[in-house]
Amino acid sequence: MEPTLSPAGYAALTILLLPLAAAVVALACPCRDPERTANRSIGAIALGFILSLGLFFFAGDKAIETNFNWLSVGDLKVSFGLLLDPLSKLMLLVVTGVGLMIHIYSRGYLHGDRSYSRYFASLSLFTFSMLGIVLANNLFMMFVFWELVGVSSYLLIGFWFEKNSAADAAKKAFLTNRVGDFGFILGIILTWAALGSVNFTELASAVELGGRLADKAAGFSVLAEPLGKIFQSTNWWLVHPNVLVTLVGLLLFMGAMGKSAQFPLHVWLPDAMEGPTPVSALIHAATMVAAGVFMLCRIFFLLDIPGSHALEFIAWIGGFTALLAALMALQQNDIKRILAYSTLSQLGYMVMAVGLHSPQSAMFHLTTHAAFKALLFLGAGSVILACHHEQNIWKMGGLRDAMPRTWWTFRWGTLALCGVWPFAGFFSKDAILAAALDPAHRNIPLFVLGVFVAGLTTFYMSRLVLVAFCGNARSEEASHAHESPGVMTWPLVVLAVPTLLAGAVGIDAYLAKALPSEHAPHNEGFLNNLFAPFNHNILAAGFGLLAVVAGYKLARALYTNAGRDPLPDKLGVLAKMARDRFYFDELYEWFISVTQETLAKVADWFDRWIIAGLLVRGTHGTTELFGRALRLVQTGSLQTYAFLFAAGVVLVLAWQLLLQSPAH
Amino acid sequence: MNVGLEHYLTVSAMLFCLGLLGVILRRNVLVIYMSLELMLNAANLALVAFSRFNENLTGQMMVFFIITVAAAEVAVGLALIVALYRKRQSAHVEDLTSLKL
């Protein structure tokens, strides 16, 4: 493809490069006034947001692709390309929009921090990497930015690296992500080996072509033939093509598992709350963890190849994560950790939606979730700052009168997260529940699980709100709490708008242009959209609302004016397990220490006996043995030498004369 | 009896072997030295015999050289042995081990 850029392409490139420029400038020339670094970062992302808005409304729905050749090795051509389609345009809007609010908020939250410029440099670097993932037009470029996101999240989680827990959390997040990325790159290589391309557009057309040609009844797929060739030519692994297609899907999903913190790689996300609260809002609610879901939607056509069983697995992993995280959230007392587990749970919903053949509802939920979860995290940050860095909800209480603006916005965020009509969360969650009931891919167990998790969500969020905001102040700090400055509360107010409205403005219909769906939702105007879920599938909407009511009633009964948590008495060991996160961290720690111990023992044995024993000491021993043996010959007696010499001559003569002469 | 080349060579070989045995078995440096001279003279005998029977004077010329060099060698060697004896009061090879570890 010719490296020509349309105006839209230029705009996309500018959006991508502005934060990088801000980060480079902040790091290369640290100025005396850190506020200017902050302003530059904010300016970069604000400009990006305006350009994204322009692209979103004026660039049209046609996909625009720009390709530059980056490097070519043999058959592999890696290009640096930007792909602008409805999916990436929506995601651009989410990343820059939510990011902008969080940048502004950070300016107030971190005011006076020693490493103010470093913070904004990392934040801009992160924005750059995330935009790279969104705009990437091929898997390799996505992988490069994927890793960059990992690095910048490492920098931001470990921002307060003087604290051991923050440094450990950063390492844990990075390493856990690496485990997933390992599978991701294997999946990319396998995809390339099978289809000969890593470009999304080319991959999609290849899969479509294969779908038309292949014998669907036999479950044959486009990957079958070339992969079969690879494996048959080496003849070491003769497997059914369906297994290979599934394998490709699962390996690619591993990447999403790491980034989107799905079971069993979910352990890093709650620990990542060690970072500053705006970082938690940006990375661990709105953008980075959304990268996994975004990637799954981007490559949905690869997961959906007939014969592949990857989607079923993805759906169950997502559902299981949603349930597990919601149960863990029940017994957490740290306000940020509750939100972290609810993020995990909502990510589980999104992944489940992808698995239920409904990527557009996953993206829908991602978009609304980005808005209201960022709002919740920023609200939590405001609360934490007001209570002088107290994060335990049992030491708060009564904040509702002290911080009216935070209280209102936080409550809206909670309502959206619980899925209360007409807040945004209701519509996206309903779309996912409806996908579980979709006749084409009906999955009743997952529907029940989804409804149950919705109930749990309402329960733990109501617990958080009732304990932290209502009742009486339980500590000195909470009673002296006062509202945060405007630079922090105005982003909350701005984010509250999409929290209320994003559900019914037709995001799902917009997404249907980019993603395949059996019966695309139509945008019928705001008012009609408001009631569409009830017309479309009354069962899903009804059960969803029922779960919300049940969860709220239960939480209200238990936690109104409660001095301490009544659940441990009622649930006993289950509550303790939930509080201790079902011992996953301990299990992993045990597993890692056992494997490492075994590995170390084996290495030690090898070193001691093979390297040191056999090789080093063996060489030395053999040499010495030969030396000792040869020393016996060196008597130092001239006559012995003369004798040996004469004997040698005799031997040579005898050999020459007796054996070599012709027989006579 | 007609004396031929073989007889000379046999005598020469016997002298050579006697000399070699002396070098290997005897312990006195002086005797070893004499045995060495015996071996040289065995070689001389063989060369002279070849010269005589092949009617070629080259061999005899070589013998003259050997005798000359041997005489010079005897002068040096005996001087060394006398000097050694004066120093150590012994001419036995078992006693001459100061170079051994």
**Domain B5-95: which topology?**
Helix Hairpins (1.10.287)
Query: What's the pLDDT at A2?
Result: 46
**Predicted-complex ipTM score:** 0.82
Best-predicted range by mean pLDDT (A463-467, A604-608, A634-638):
A604-608
Is the pLDDT score of A519 beyond 70? no
Q: Which two tokens stand for residue A145?
A: 């930015």
Mean pLDDT, range A158-176, rounded to an integer: 88
pLDDT digits (tens, 9 = 90+) for A543-555: 888 888 888 888 8
List, in sequence order, every residue forming a beta bridge with B24; answer none if it has no partner.
Answer: none
Q: Which residue of A has its CA nearest to B99?
A: A636
Please indicate whether, in this complex, the C-beta atoms of A636 and B99 are within 8 angstroms of each other: yes
The number of C-beta contacts closer than 8 angstroms across A and B is 17
Q: What is the pTM of this model?
A: 0.76
Chain A hits for B20, Cβ within 8 Å:
642, 646
Alpha carbon distances (Å) from A111 to A74, A117, A632: 52, 11, 85
pLDDT digits (tens, 9 = 90+) for A266-303: 888 888 888 888 888 887 777 888 888 999 888 888 88
Query: What's the pLDDT at B4?
Result: 87
Query: What's the pLDDT at A218?
Result: 37
Angle at A158 between CA A185 and CA A579, to 5 degrees: 90
- Sequential DSSP letters for A454-500: HHHHHHHHHHHHHHHTSS---SHHHHT--PPPHHHHHHHHHHHHHHH
Least confident of A42-56, A121-135, A571-585, A591-605: A571-585
Chain B residues 15-54 within an 8 A CB cutoff of chain A: 20, 23-25, 32
Q: Which helix (H) or strand (E) holds A66?
A: strand A64-73
Best-predicted range by mean pLDDT (A2-6, A32-36, A636-640, B81-85):
B81-85
Chain B hits for A639, Cβ within 8 Å:
23-25, 32, 93
User: What CA–CA distance (Å, rounded) separates A97 from A493?
Assistant: 13
Is the pLDDT score of A219 beyond 50? no
Share of chain A above pLDDT 70, in %: 90
Preferred mutation among B20, B92, B99 to probe A, highest tally of A CBs within 10 A: B20
Query: What's the pLDDT at A1?
Result: 42
Best-predicted range by mean pLDDT (A29-38, A127-136, A388-397):
A127-136
User: What CA–CA distance (Å, rounded) separates B54 from B49?
Assistant: 8
**Cis amide linkage into residue A422, ω under 30° from 0:** yes
pLDDT digits (tens, 9 = 90+) for A314-361: 899 999 999 988 888 888 888 888 888 898 899 998 999 888 888 888
Mode of pairing for the β-strands spanning A76-84 and A64-73: antiparallel
Chain A hits for B99, Cβ within 8 Å:
636
User: What CA–CA distance (Å, rounded) separates A88 from A82?
Assistant: 10
List, in sequence order, every residue forming a beta bridge with A72; answer none if it has no partner.
Answer: A77
Is B69 in CB contact (< 8 Å) with chain A?
no
Please indicate whether, in this complex, the C-beta atoms of A637 and B99 are within 8 angstroms of each other: no
Please indicate whether, in this complex, the C-beta atoms of A646 and B24 are within 8 angstroms of each other: yes
Residue A355, phi then psi, degrees to nearest 5: -65, -25
Q: For residue B91, give how far its alpha carbon lies from the nearest alpha carbon of chain A (Å).
A: 14
Whether residue A206 contacts residue A195, with contact meaning beta carbons closer than 8 Å, is answered with yes
Residue A506, phi then psi, degrees to nearest 5: 95, 30
pLDDT digits (tens, 9 = 90+) for B44-77: 999 999 999 999 999 999 999 999 999 999 999 9
